[in-house]
Structures are given as C-alpha cells and as structure tokens.
Copies of this chain bind each other. A is one copy, B any other.
Amino acid sequence: MHVNMDGQGPLHAQLTRALKAAMFAGRLGEGGRLPATRQLARELGLSRNTVLAAYEQLRAEGFVRGQVGSGSFVTPPVKPEALPSPAQVEHPPQSAFARRGRRFHDHATMPGRATPGMRYAFSYGVPYTNPALTTAWARELGRAAAYTPPNYPMTQGLPALREAVCDYLARRRGVRAAPADVLIVAGTQQAMALTARVLLDVGESAVLEEPHYTAMREVLQIHGAQVEAVEVDAHGLRLDRLPAAPPKLVCVTPSHQFPSGVVMSLERRLELLAYASRHDCWIFEDDYDGEFRYDAQPLAALRSLDRDGRVVYVGTFSKALFPSLRLGYLVMPPGLQRDYLNAKWQDDFGSSAIEQAALANFMADGGFERHLRRAGRALLERRGALLAALSRELGDALHVADSRAGMHLVAWLRRADPEQGNALILAAREKGLDLYSIAPYYQRPPPQAGLLMGFASMSVAEIEQAVQVFATCMRERGLA
C-alpha cells in the first residue's frame, strides 16, 4: 500500500493525513478494510504504536469504524473523490449590507493611499513619530503585559484609560466628561460605524460637510443612510444650505474642518446645536487632530456647549500617536449610552486590554503629553518649511488654504483644472513624488485642481527636496 507522508509534525499525524488522502483519492475504497496495524507498521517502517494512534484518530473522526483486533473499515459516507477544495466562484452579495458595501466602498480610489516605491510622499494620515515614541511605547506595552488581567476586558474600556481621557479632554479640549460617558473604541472608524448603527435606520438621512472625510461617507452609505454633503464657508458648515427635511445626523469637524482647514465659528456652533435641538437630530463631532494647533489652544468643542445631549464627540489616538494602534474614544450622549455599549459589545466585546493599559499609563505618567509637545514642535517646523518652500518655489501659482492646525494643508493650483491636476499627479509619480488630489473628498468635485499635502511624516530636508520636485513638475507642465 502506498501512502505519502509529508514530513511535517509527529509521525502519527503524518500517517493520519496520508491515509485520509488515500481515502479521498479512492485508493482505500468504500467499506474497504485497512491493513492490519502490524503489517502497515512493517511496510512503512513505523512503530506499531504510531499506526495504532493514526487508526484511533481516523476512528475518532469517523473515517473508519471497527475495533482493534477485528479490523478497521473505511466508513461508507466518504466518497472516493479528490480532496475537496472550495469552489472559487464569487457569490452575489448575500445581504443588503454586503450589496451596499460592494457599491459604495471604493477600494480603487481610497484617497490618501500611498503609491508604493515613491521617494517622497505628501501623504496624509501617517503622523509624526520618532524613535523616542517607539521606545516609550515598547516599554509601556511590556509593562502593561505584565499586570493586565488575561480575561475579557470591560466593554466600555479600562477605567484607568477612561479617566486619563477625561483628564486630557478637560485640559486640552475644554470637554467636560466623566469616565462613565466615555467609550473606548477601535479608532474613529469604529466610532462612525457604531454611530451609524445606533442612530440610523436604512433610508434615514445624514449630512456631511463638503468637502469631507471619504471613509465617513462610505460607512454611512454602507449602513444605508441617504447622505448629502453641504457646503462649508469660512465659518464652517452652512446651516442655511441644510436640506429642507432635517437630517437625522449631522457630521462635522468643527475644530479643524477636514480637509479644508476652516474653524467653525462660535456663532455657527451655537446655531448648529440649536438646530439639532429644534429638529431632534444628532451631531457627530469628529475632533480628529485637535491636538496640534499653531496659534492658540485647541478650540472649545461642540460637546462642551451642548446642553441638550445631542453631540457624539469623537477623538482618536491615530494622529496623536499612530494609526496602527487602533484606539480612540467616544463621549456618548447621556441618553444613548446603553445603545453605544450594546453596539460595542456586539462588535468585539471591548478593545484589547494590554494596549488600553499601556496607553492609560503613558497618559498618566506624562509621556503622552511630552510626545505631543515634541510632535507639536516638529510639526510646526515641518509646516513652516513646507509653507516657505511652496511660497519660494511656486509663489502665486498656488493658493495655500492654510489652517493653523493639524498635519496637512490644502494647496489649490491656480492655473490647473482637474484634468491638468491629474496629469500633474501622474507626472510627479514618474519622478518619485506622490501627490494627492483633493477631488475624492468631494461629493461634487470642484472645478479647480487642488492637493491635500500632509507634512507630518517627512523631515524638513525631505519636504524641501519634495517641493523642488513638485515645482519642477509644475513648471514643466506650464502650471507655474
């Protein structure tokens, strides 16, 4: 009898696999008798115990029946065919959720995605990190692993982390929240998904800013929301342009509009809150990079002005630390805490406890604030270098919509329409420079070409070199 042993793992396991393969291949027919254990052991040069263990395993799995001594028979239902391999056909979507996922989540044009092999990239979403942070974080993780209990974490998040977040919010964002109001989430993405589930039924309407964070639109659309993007002016979302039928949810980035950089004025904030109370709608306040400001403290959040419990306030550690961490927080409206906790529970029970404990300690120890100060200084310098280089090299060929906050700015190409802008991006890639159009961040793309320019992940020298390449491309294409 021929059996193919694959040399991986214990001999009895190899033999079990080989015998199964022989059955599936039809070399051990239906109802067929397996060789006696002594005989097979001799044939294969194995100990009898090895063969006995393999037969026992086949018996336990139901592949053979019979008792030791009276012979082992292949169980009838196993048809002598080839080893199965699942069919490779793509199925139609099996749920409305899956159908909307295929329709609305556009892998191909996920904005901000870096092109591989580029020498320079003005990418947005990779924050400032440095070896000190890496070292500190490795140390915190190692420490937290030593004392974090192994059991299921609290769904709402570790109390120590929620306390540290409240302290941070009070000091740096003017948000007064109690640990009981805070839900630890797997980044802003989970905060959005939970909010869509808790607040929206299929067909209900949600308003986004125009331009806006594309993933927010896709998450809402995947949940079946009717999404409308409403223009932003110099004071923030234009409430006078809201649809006649009030939406159920309004998603805003008041402290630093994404991606335009506008700060929502106090008047507009109070108007929006009054609108939400009047029309029984909800506000998603995405404070994604309020840590980094270059003129004054972070502005007071909508949540801190909210008397009616209408604001879902969301912050993330993706910008303040790094996005591979997947941790953020959500300040729940008092009237919906139970629903948010249920939604988080059904999603994943709760976020990873060791990372939460490490972060709580990093915040309580002051390491987090030290990193923020260091990052803030570096970002200030990099932003200054980018602004100076753009002004020096390209002057009035660009209109830079500076924002005094965050990790990116928006540069409009005065002499380029969108098509010329796209041609420029392709030409820059030829020279090893990755540029990012602002168009995907619009529901109705603007008539002018614009770029979203992240400056957090390049050094000052790299920024200056990258701007040189950028300027060369602009000149070659007659845009500067």
Contact = CB atoms under 8 A, between A and B. Distances in A.
Interface stretch (A90-98, A389-397, A410-418, A427-435): A90-98
13 contacts: A20-B300, A62-B267, A75-B267, A78-B266, A84-B304, A87-B309, A88-B334, A88-B335, A95-B201, A138-B141, A151-B324, A152-B324, A348-B348
A296 interface: yes
Contact of A105 (B62, B193, B322, B346): B346
Contact of A189 (B61, B141, B263, B349): B349
A107 to B, nearest CB: 8
A125 interface: yes
Given A95-B199, A186-B348, A198-B97, A150 B171 contact: no
A280 to B, nearest CB: 10
B324 A87 contact: no
A444 B406 CA distance: 56
Interface string A333-353: 111101100110111111111
A87 B336 CA distance: 11
Nearest to A310: B86
Q: Oligomeric state, in number of copies? A: 2
Nearest to A340: B98
A330 to B, nearest CB: 13
Interface stretch (A9-17, A379-387, A467-475): A9-17
A419 interface: no
A216 to B, nearest CB: 11
Interface residues of A, number: 119
Contact of A307 (B86, B222, B295, B299): B86
A282 B95 CA distance: 13
A89 B338 CA distance: 12
A265 interface: yes
